[in-house]
Amino acid sequence: MRSVVSRIATTAVLGFGLVVACAVSAHLLAMETEQRTAHEAHLNTALRVGTAAAEMWSNGPHDDIVREDFLRWSWAAITDPAVVGTALLSSEGDLLALQPDDIVDPLELSRTTLARDTRASLETSLGKARRVSAEIASGRRLVLLGAPPPSRLPVNVSGWTFGLIVVVAAVGGWCWLRLDLERRIAEPLRTLRAPKRGDESRHAQRLPIDRNDEFGHLARHFQGLIEDHDQSRTRMGQMKRTLDARVAAQTRQIQGMLRRAERRAWIDPLTKLGNRRLLDDRLEELFTTQKRRGEDMSVVLFDLDNFKSLNDTLGHAVGDELLTFVGELLRGSLRSSDIGLRLGGDEFLTILLGTGMDEAAETADRLVKLFRQKASLYKSAMPVMISCGVASIRHPDVSSGESLLALADKALYFAKEQGKGRVGIFPASTPKLLNPAG
């Protein structure tokens, strides 16, 4: 009788556990839905930003020109962790550009975009990706591929699948316990004589469980221990399979993080500008593109005069603060098509697309004056200033991106020789100052 009461109490506890499991499952589903909604809103916001940027370059009559503008924009877009790829399609659905170029099957991307299926997802090299698109000028379509939102669930399944697993497991446990209770009351002898597997089970069949003395009681208790051992071994096997599945899922997640980290390697962590690796990867490509299109391109190379003195006087924290300000100054002063980079230490570079040397020199002069206002707040032994060197691909001595940087470096060296805090330009065979009396 005591065993029956214990089983009934266990059944009640399992019922309460079922209610708790369902409540936890519903809460996790709500959390995942909220996270997915926020992820969708972020992705749509990124698409609207891209559409707004497209208004500046998507009216070109030739697809190859629009493609170049798109590729420059996409380098910044894919630094967003929520974006794994971007694409540009013509009005007929033909793929004009894809960044990265191996992220997705181009035919599948064109098919889903032309079908106008706003809920379509695609298989990419990083897993499932959410596709959103918008029409821009001339019927072209701008496409963003969004990374799947991180799941809050404890296993690598969808929200509804997880809820179904919890409910089915709880209901199955409930039914099993009720049947077990019925069998223990109605058919106790059959349960005790059930066949077993393995050496332990064969040994249990030989136990004197039918005896009514102390030996029979001990035999029945030992048989229960063997059954518990079998169940524990089964649970351990299930736990091992679950652990293997989780390790595989985490391995795939780490591989995706490594690919995204490779793209983030183009960003300087202190100033949030591009770094020298980005310059090495993209300068020659930009130079060739501008030359082929017959458009100008200028660079402004500059560094901070007397920066070491400020570090020695006021400390490296103040130096880092000033370098961070330079990054904010460039991001706030340059156009969206321009590129600001920190080459290392206190050396910076801006690449001004479609800009001649005179306009680039004016931009450099404006940076010098704005920086001077900020630097005046720091009282160091020697004032910190900016010296700039400006060069354009129109110069006859420029035949590559490397020679363009070399010319800008000569102009910078000339500006420093003339007193620092100046802008040196290279209009002809010899350098000169923008404002000699400045």
Q: Could you say which of 69, 268, 296, 346 is catalytic?
A: 346
Cβ atoms 149, 39 nearer than 8 A? yes
The closest alpha carbon to 48, from 90, 72, 80, belongs to 80
Cα(235)–Cα(265) distance, integer angstroms: 44
272: left (phi over 0), alpha (psi -120 to 50) or beta: left
Cβ atoms 389, 424 nearer than 8 A? yes
- State whether the Cα torsion 424-425-430-435 is positive or negative: negative
Residue with tokens 């469980």: 209
Q: Is 280 a catalytic residue?
A: no
Distance of CA 270 to the CA centre of its chain: 19
Burial class (CB in 10 A: 0-12, 13-18, 19+), 22: middle
Q: Which amino acid is located at 212 in the chain?
A: N
Instruction: Identify how many contiguous H helices and E strands the chain contains and give both numbers.
Output: 12, 11
- State whether the Cα torsion 130-135-139-140 is positive or negative: negative
Task: Give me the phi and psi of 209, to 5 degrees please.
Answer: -75, -15
The closest alpha carbon to 346, from 314, 313, 376, 384, belongs to 384
Structural tokens at position 418:
């003339």
Active site residues: 346
